[in-house]
Chains A and B, each alone.
Chain A
Amino acid sequence: MASLVVAEHDNRTLKDSTAKTVTAAAQISTPVHVLVAGQNCDAVAQAAAKLAGVEKVLVADDAQYAHMVAEPMEALILSLADKYDAILAPATTNGKNYLPRVAARLDVPQISEILKVVSPDTFERPIYAGNAIQTVQAPAGKKVITVRTTAFKAAGATGNAAIEKIAAAADPGISKFAGEELSKSERPELTSAKIVVSGGRGMGSGENFKLLEQLADKLHAAVGASRAAVDAGFVPNDYQVGQTGKVVAPELYIAVGISGAIQHLAGMKDSKVIAAINKDEEAPIFQIADFGLVADLFKAVPEMVQELTRLGY
C-alpha cells in the first residue's frame, strides 16, 4: 500500500527530522506520503514536496493543528489511516505525544524509536536507555512507528511531489493549547546541529555557560547540557541531552564538565567524534571519548577559544 509520515514543523519550517523519517518510511512501504498538519503552513508543505521519495503531501491547515495538540492530531491521522499500512512520526516530543493514541485506536502495538529497518516488518530499537538493542518483528497489519531520527540519513531535496489539501477532522474538543515558552536562540538546534558543545554539573553555574557559548559561537555549534546541569537550574530543560532529554548524533560532540552518567551517554554516544574535558580522570565520559582532556574546564575552554581565534574561526 503506502506509508504516511507525519511532518514535524513549526508552521514556518519543516524540521530535518521529517526528512529522516521519510528515509525510514521508504524502507518499509512505498509510496511515501507526508501529512503536514498545521496552520498557515504552506511553506512547510512546499518543503515537504521537495523531499526525495515523497509521492504526495497532504496538508490539513486548521487552527486546531497549529500546535499539534494530541487529541485533534489523533482524530486527523485516524481519518487517513485506512489508506496506509505504515504510519510513522519522528520520535520528537510531538510524535511521542500523539502517535501512541493512533496505535491504540487502531489496536496495534506501537514500535518506539526505531534505529534500523531490518526488513519491512522487523526493526531494531533501543531499550534500557540504549544499553541493549532489541530486534522486534511486528504482527501482520498496520505498523505504527516512531523513528529515532539520528539513526537515519535525511532524504534529499530533489523531489517534486503533488500537494493536496485535505479537510480537517472534527476537533474532539477536550483539550486546548494554552501557551508556550520557547527558548530563543541564534544558534543551531540541538538535534540538527553539526557540532554540539554541552556542559555538565562541572560548569558550576548558569553564568558560567557563557564560556561554553563563546566556544559554541566560534564553531557555529548548539549548546546542550547534562541532566545534572538542568536539574541544578543552570539552563532550561530543553538543553538536556540524554535518554529522557534529546538524543543527538552530531559530527562533533564536546562534553565539558560532564562525568558521563549512563543516561547522558545514551543521548550522545552515536556522535561521530566525541571530545571530553573533565578534571576527574576517572570520569566515565573518557571511556567513550575520542579525545580526552583531563583539565580544569575554566582554563581549557578559554585555551580552545584562543586557539580557534588564532586559527581564524
Chain B
Amino acid sequence: MKVLVPVKRVIDFNVKVRVKADQTGVDLANVKMSMNPFDEIAVEEAIRLKEKGKAGEIIAVSIGPAQASETIRTALAMGADRGILVKADGDVEPLAVAKILKAICEAEKPGLVILGKQAIDDDSNQTGQMLAALLGWPQGTFAHKLDITDSAATVEREIDGGLQTVEIKLPAIVTTDLRLNEPRYASLPNIMKAKKKPIDEKTPADYGVDVTPRLKVLKVTEPPKRQAGVKVKSGTELVDKLKEIGAI
C-alpha cells in the first residue's frame, strides 16, 4: 500500500512571528523555515507503518515555493521514498491544496494519506477533511493512535472530552495530533542518501487547479496586548486580592 504524506513549509515553531508594519501579513524575510510540526508526525507515522510492513512506498508532497523542495528533502531524509513538488508562490488556500492532492491521489492511488491536523501558520485545520470529502473517502482526524489492517484503519482520536475510536474503510485520510508519535531526527547518512531520491516538479496547472485565493485578506494585525499586573507575596495574599476584585 502506497502512503502519501503532504508536508508544508512554515515559519519554524520557535520563531516569534512579527506582523508587518503595513498590515499585509507577517514578516517572512530572513526567518527560519521548517516542516510544519504536525506534518513531521505524519511522515514519522508513515515510516513506522512501512517498518511494520504495513506500508510500501511513501511519497512526500509539498505545494509551495521552490524552497519547499527542502521540506520534501527533510521527509526523504527521515525515510520517505520520493517527492512531488507542486510549485506555487504565495498563499495557497486549503481548498486548492485539497484539489491538487485529490488529483495526485487519483494518479498515485495511495491506500492512505496522512496529513498534519493543521499548519501552524494559518491554523486552518481543513486540508485533510476537505481532501477526504472531495475523494469521498472517510477520515480519522486528530489521530492519537493508528492501527491498519488490509481493508480498514482503526483511529483513536483526541476529542474535547477524551478519546474516540472510529473504524474507517481504506482508502482513507488520517490527520495527526501531537501525541501520535515522536518524530525521529534524520541521520547524516540518511540526509546524504535523501539527496539522491527523486523529486518530481509539477505546477497546479498540471492538475488543472486554479490556486488563486478566494478569501481576500484585508489586513493582518497584532492581537491586543495584555499588561503585566502586580506581584503578590503569598498564596494568602493572592486569595485576598482575588476576592477584593470580585474574581472569586
List A residues at the B interface (Cβ < 8 Å).
Answer: 10, 67, 69-71, 74, 92-94, 96-105, 107-113, 122, 126-139, 172, 174-183, 191, 195, 219, 227, 230-231, 236-238, 243-244, 246, 251-252, 262, 269, 272-275, 277, 286-295, 299-308, 311, 313
Contacts and interface: CB of A to CB of B under 8 A. Distances in A.
Contacts of A74: 133
A14 B126 CA distance: 25
The 5 A-B residue pairs with the shortest CB-CB distance, nearest first, are A303-B235, A100-B129, A101-B133, A290-B229, A104-B130
B232 A291 contact: yes
Contacts, number: 262
Nearest to B127: A100
Contacts of A289: 228-229
Interface stretch (B78-86, B91-99, B103-111): B91-99
Contacts of B243: 311
Interface residues of B, number: 79
A135 B126 contact: no
Nearest to A301: B235
A74 B237 CA distance: 52
A288 B226 contact: yes
Interface in B170-221: 177-179, 214-221
A134 B124 contact: no
Contacts of A109: 93-95, 214-215
A48 to B, nearest CB: 19
A46 to B, nearest CB: 22
Contact of B133 (A105, A181, A313): A105
B215 A307 contact: no
A291 B247 CA distance: 12
> Which residue among A195, A304, A306 has the maximum number of chain B CB atoms within 10 Å of its CB?
A304
A178 B154 contact: yes
B242 A273 contact: yes
A156 B218 CA distance: 32
B29 interface: no
Given A122-B218, A307-B236, 4 more contacts: A97-B142, A112-B123, A275-B242, A287-B226
What is the predominant secondary structure among interface residues of chain B facing chain A? mixed
Contacts of B32: none
A113 B221 CA distance: 16
A23 B30 CA distance: 42
Contacts of A227: 178
B144 A107 contact: no
Contact of A303 (B139, B236, B242): B236
A236 B243 CA distance: 31
Given A183-B162, A294-B231, A126 B142 contact: no
Contacts of A183: 161-162
A110 B158 contact: no
B133 to A, nearest CB: 4
A174 B94 contact: no
Interface in B229-248: 229-243, 245, 247-248
Contacts of B237: 293
Given A67-B164, A109-B95, A179-B164, A307 B240 contact: yes
A126 B216 contact: no
Given A97-B129, A128-B11, A289-B228, A176 B166 contact: yes
A237 B19 CA distance: 31
A180 B164 contact: yes
B224 to A, nearest CB: 9
B159 interface: yes
B223 interface: yes
A182 B162 contact: yes
A246 to B, nearest CB: 7
Contacts of A230: 179
Contacts of B22: none
B89 interface: no
B177 A273 contact: no
Nearest to B26: A132
23 contacts: A10-B161, A92-B160, A97-B129, A101-B129, A103-B130, A104-B134, A108-B214, A110-B95, A122-B218, A127-B220, A137-B215, A176-B167, A178-B165, A238-B160, A238-B163, A252-B247, A273-B247, A275-B242, A289-B228, A295-B234, A302-B235, A303-B234, A307-B240
